[in-house]
Amino acid sequence: MKPGYLSLDFSDICLAVAVFFLAVGLQFMLGLQLTRDFLVAGLRMFGQLFVVGWVLLWVFHAKSVWVSVGVALAMVGVAAYTAWSRVKSTQTGPFRPSPFPFLVALACGVGLASALGIGAILRPVPWFDPQYLIPLVGMVTGNTMNVSTLAAERFVGVVVQDAHLIESLLALGVSAEKSLESHKRQALRVSLMPTLNTMMVVGVVSLPGMMTGQILAGASPNQAVRYQMLIHSLILLSALIVSFLSVRSLGKRLIVNEERLAWKA
């Protein structure tokens, strides 16, 4: 019996590598001076995916609750660190955020969305089946991480930019929550816009990776569409929760004792 998908052998992977080097050659001819970046990105991509493939084979074979949950928690932890490091490296102002708000926000948002997806909608048996848990947590975490980064970057940036205005409001007796309200709202809107834009054109302008993968694997397009609806709904919920909690937690650290900005305390 033929599999429901076209398998790739070693020669096919070699052709994929050749395509990558074709892209490297084209950028060199265009004078983009990105040869090193291309090679590093390609090396990391091929290496990481190779390792992940072997790790997931072991995880799928183990079918252990500790292994599945451990891998999911590791994903959230790495995403939180990545979001924090990106915000830390791009902030030129006097405030440097702590990684703790990102970890708590991602754990809450991804945890709730994954619990609803696995426990209430998919309901696999057992519930920790890595075939469902790992891909779902991975997709939700990856997309939510970007939202968390955008929200934190915009929020800290506008607060540093409007420091004098915020200080004036605090001096007049306005609460810290009220003085940062418009900045929080602006950061939330900006961070959620890419997710909303993707949802508006999904299926019309682009076919998402999960949906495309399922169709290539032989799944019914109707089933692939239903799974994509689920994933986008979970991503939106998680993104909203994570962006809100990230901004709220950062706001508590930006103002000390309801009267002054953190870097002037």
Question: For the chain (length 265 residues), average pLDDT per consecutive 10?
Answer: 68 92 94 92 92 90 91 92 78 67 92 94 92 92 91 87 85 84 92 90 75 79 88 94 92 75 62
Q: Taking the chain, what is the end-to-end CA distance rounded to the nearest angstrom?
A: 71
**pLDDT of the residue at 1:** 42
Specify whether the CB–CB gap between 218 and 3 falls below 8 A: yes
**pLDDT of the residue at 264:** 57
95: nearest Cα among 233, 261, 211, 210: 261
Distance CA 250, CA 98 (A): 8
Name the pTM for this structure.
Answer: 0.83
Q: How many residues appear in the chain?
A: 265
**Omega prior to 124 cis, within 30 of 0:** no
User: Helix axis angle, 100-115 relative to 130-161, nearest 10°?
Assistant: 140
Q: How many other CB atoms are found less than 10 A from the CB of residue 254?
A: 23
